Amino acid sequence: MLAKWFERTPSVAPGRDADIEARAKLRIGLPKVLNIWTTHQFWLGFFGALGVPNERVVFSSDTSEEQGREYGRGRGTVDCCYPVKCVSGHYGELIFGQKRKIDILFSPMIYSLDSFLGGHVMESLACPRVMAAPENIRAGFVKERDVFAENGIAYVAPLVSLAEPRLVPRQLHDGLKHVLPGLSLSETEHAVEAGYRALADFNAELRSRSRAILELCASEGRACIMVLARPYHMDAGIGHEVEADLQAHGYPILWAQYFPLDADLMQWMFGADVAAGHIKSPFDIADVWPSSYSANTNEILWGAKVAARIPWITCAIRLTSYECGMDQPTFTPVQQIVERSGTLFFSFQELDSTKPAGSVKIRVETVL
């Protein structure tokens, strides 16, 4: 599905021909971790507009124990959730595991996210551990000797507030002007616009597909399953492909982050609640979650409300990782929202590096 998006060639920002030509020869590595799972199209659109072809933007592979053993062993610097710990393996793979060396390892510290709930919640912030992960993980590669310098790789980790588009050009220009030849602020502004357009197009495509799934289930009286999780649980090594095991048995899968946002659907689900004054808009979650600061948390709570209202979503699956302090306060509210509607609810909590194949299989059979 992602192939056509990686092949897109965005328009290039106006710049000096020599600079554009030099950028086209760069190879930029991005660790496929954490919030890169929902922002990857922004970065492809952004770098493409600056003259770096999509095929020269290199993503690490999905998380695996082998990746961690081969590339991340001995470089741990933090004791927290597994999704952050495993970033060391992704860095190592980009540094040591490429047939052709990368020139830049780009790992943005994403402070806030461009959430579809923005404007209806207090904030759209990233988890603090996730936001700070690039600098924490970097320490494991420079604490004894500078691995980046030894391999001729520039390490770039700018702080980026994606929920505040006016701040982003300056943030990215300051972070990249020393590694991208001739980069100007005006070029960066153009590229940021291209990044947001690419991300919006990608999200619209996935929401269109989700709408098609709902229409199919409605017309055929079929059941589908909603996944309530953080985006990085799409990573096979983080979420252990629980949703894929369920899909293999014929149940269509929807992810809360890519649920269709069409006005007719929102009115059908939430119109009565808005009219009664329970909520201010279909995207208001104050009735179930007053402390709406975290983007991922907000979207999970909103997804639970959706799962409780769509008759063809007969089951909601909650995925959480070991030692996720941000998720723990939401366990009970999410379960109550879903179950009080009569919708089935199952949780796969405390997922870590080891996939307990037997227990996952038994759990999947229970869901079925």
The alpha carbon of 197 is separated from its chain's Cα centroid by a whole number of angstroms, namely 17
Q: Which residues contact 296 (CB under 8 A, 6 or more apart)?
A: 113, 126, 127, 230, 231, 326
Give me the domains of the chain, ranges plus CATH numbers: 3-200 (no CATH), 209-367 (3.40.50)
Quick check: 43 pLDDT over 90? yes
- Compute the distance between CA of residue 13 and CA of residue 27 in angstroms, rounded to an integer: 18
What are the tens digits of pLDDT across the range 281-303? 999 999 999 999 999 999 999 99
- Compute the distance between CA of residue 177 and CA of residue 154 in angstroms, rounded to an integer: 12
Q: Is the pTM of this model over 0.75?
A: yes
- Compute the distance between CA of residue 228 and CA of residue 307 in angstroms, rounded to an integer: 9
Q: Is 104 in contact with 28 (CB distance < 8 Å)? A: yes
User: Which H helix or E strand runs over 132?
Assistant: helix 128-139
Quick check: 143 pLDDT over 70? yes
What are the tens digits of pLDDT across the range 198-241? 999 999 999 999 999 999 999 999 999 999 999 999 999 999 88
Average pLDDT over residues 265-277: 97
Average pLDDT over residues 111-128: 96
pLDDT band of 356, cuts 50, 70, 90: low
Name residue 253's beta-bridge partners.
225
- Compute the distance between CA of residue 314 and CA of residue 321 in angstroms, rounded to an integer: 24
What are the tens digits of pLDDT across the range 148-163? 999 999 999 999 999 9
147 token code pair: 């691995």
Q: Is 333 in contact with 362 (CB distance < 8 Å)? A: no
Three-point CA angle 2, 134, 165, nearest 5°: 65
